[in-house]
């Protein structure tokens, strides 16, 4: 920092009081952890999730809750209406996503690919458009990509393609929306221990594979936890990242290093 720059206290940089935030898919897993950190930093947070049972968890952390399938245009708009309360939005975390195993590239059906792209790309695109329209005073959009969108992997071709598209959308939107004071960044997590991942790994566990060891198989040697991602989302959402846009932040304990 040069002496011509204002000195801002650290607490102020992460203080989100007065900010309104929407987290899609915040009912559990990574999204729930992000919502919790945003509330802790003072933001008024709305969670939009497919699962109505997630309303209890939202209430426990002090977030609003809207049952919403992000692929449904009217449900998505209704969720944004609740989140902005007529006064605009400052933070949108596009976290809702699906990750069923694609299986063999030669066997995958068009319907499977359509569904993957509809949730992970098209709906996230719609949410980004909705966010940009409502961030009249600027803001921060954080998109959940994946290391799969950077490096691929066997049997996950549809998912990898969807997350590569999220990264491209993030960079394009960062270019386009910067002039409106809107920063757009992505987080690319490695394996994070969430309900969705545990569900995915159940057949492996049943087959005698040490799933916990697999989840902790990275240079840091720790299980990736939802809060590891949430801390980075808080960074990107806050003024700590005031000059960061179009970035893809890899959060994988060094797995892709």
Ligand X SMILES: NC(=O)c1ccc[n+]([C@@H]2O[C@H](COP(=O)([O-])OP(=O)(O)OC[C@H]3O[C@@H](n4cnc5c(N)ncnc54)[C@H](O)[C@@H]3O)[C@@H](O)[C@H]2O)c1
Annotated catalytic residues are 159
139 binds ligand X (CB under 6 A): no
Closest to ligand X by CB, 136 vs 248, is 248
CA separation for the pair 42, 48 (Å, rounded) = 19
For 184, residues 6+ apart whose C-beta sits below 8 A from its C-beta are: 128, 140, 141, 143, 170, 173, 174, 177, 245, 246
102 binds ligand X (CB under 6 A): no
Structure tokens at 247: 């970035």
Stretch that binds ligand X, among 45-53, 55-63, 105-113, 175-183 (CB under 6 A): 45-53
253 binds ligand X (CB under 6 A): no
Q: Which of 158, 191, 237, 250 binds ligand X (CB under 6 A)?
A: 191
99 binds ligand X (CB under 6 A): yes
27 binds ligand X (CB under 6 A): yes
230 binds ligand X (CB under 6 A): no
For 23, residues 6+ apart whose C-beta sits below 8 A from its C-beta are: 31, 34, 35, 38, 45, 46, 47, 48, 63, 92, 93, 95
71 binds ligand X (CB under 6 A): yes
Q: How many CB atoms sit inside 10 A of residue 241's CB?
A: 19
**Which of helix, strand or coil describes residue 69?**
coil
Look at residues 190, 178, 179 and name the one whose alpha carbon lies nearest to residue 244: 178
Residue count at the site for ligand X (CB under 6 A)?
Answer: 30
CB 149 to ligand X: min, Å: 8
CB 162 to ligand X: min, Å: 8
68 binds ligand X (CB under 6 A): yes
CB 2 to ligand X: min, Å: 38
Stretch that binds ligand X, among 106-114, 167-175, 186-194, 205-213 (CB under 6 A): 186-194
Cβ–Cβ under 8 Å, residues 34 and 95: yes
CB 210 to ligand X: min, Å: 17
Positive or negative: CA dihedral 194, 196, 202, 203: negative
CA separation for the pair 248, 72 (Å, rounded) = 27
Q: Which of 23, 92, 132, 189 binds ligand X (CB under 6 A)?
A: 189
Q: Determine the angle formed by the axes of helices 123-134 and 73-84, rounding to 10 degrees.
A: 30
Stretch that binds ligand X, among 25-33, 101-109, 168-176, 239-247 (CB under 6 A): 25-33
Binding-site ranges for ligand X (CB under 6 A): 24-25, 27-31, 49-51, 54, 68-71, 95-99, 119, 144, 146, 189, 191-192, 194-197
């Amino acid at each position: 920092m040069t002496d011509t720059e204002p000195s801002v206290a650290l607490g102020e940089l992460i203080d989100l009081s007065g900010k309104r935030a929407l987290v899609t898919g915040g009912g559990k897993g990574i999204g729930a952890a992000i919502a919790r950190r945003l509330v802790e930093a003072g933001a008024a947070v709305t969670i939009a999730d497919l699962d109505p049972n997630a309303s209890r968890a939202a209430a426990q952390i002090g977030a609003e809750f809207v049952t919403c399938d992000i692929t449904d245009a009217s449900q998505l708009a209704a969720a944004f209406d609740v989140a902005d309360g007529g006064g605009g939005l400052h933070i949108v975390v596009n976290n809702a996503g699906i990750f069923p195993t694609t299986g063999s590239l030669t066997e995958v059906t068009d319907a499977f690919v359509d569904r993957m792209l509809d949730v992970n790309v098209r709906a996230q695109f719609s949410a980004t458009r909705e966010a940009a329209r409502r961030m009249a005073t600027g803001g921060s959009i954080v998109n959940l990509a994946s290391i799969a969108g950077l490096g691929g992997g066997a049997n996950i071709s549809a998912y990898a393609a969807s997350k590569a598209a999220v990264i491209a959308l993030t960079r394009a939107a960062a270019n386009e929306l910067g002039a409106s004071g809107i920063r757009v960044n992505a987080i690319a997590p490695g394996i994070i221990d969430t309900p969705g991942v545990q569900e995915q790994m159940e057949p492996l566990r049943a087959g005698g594979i040490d799933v916990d060891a697999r989840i902790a198989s990275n240079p840091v040697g720790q299980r990736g936890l939802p809060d590891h991602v949430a801390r980075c989302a808080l960074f990107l959402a806050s003024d700590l990242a005031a000059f960061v846009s179009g970035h893809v932040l890899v959060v994988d304990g060094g797995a892709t290093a």
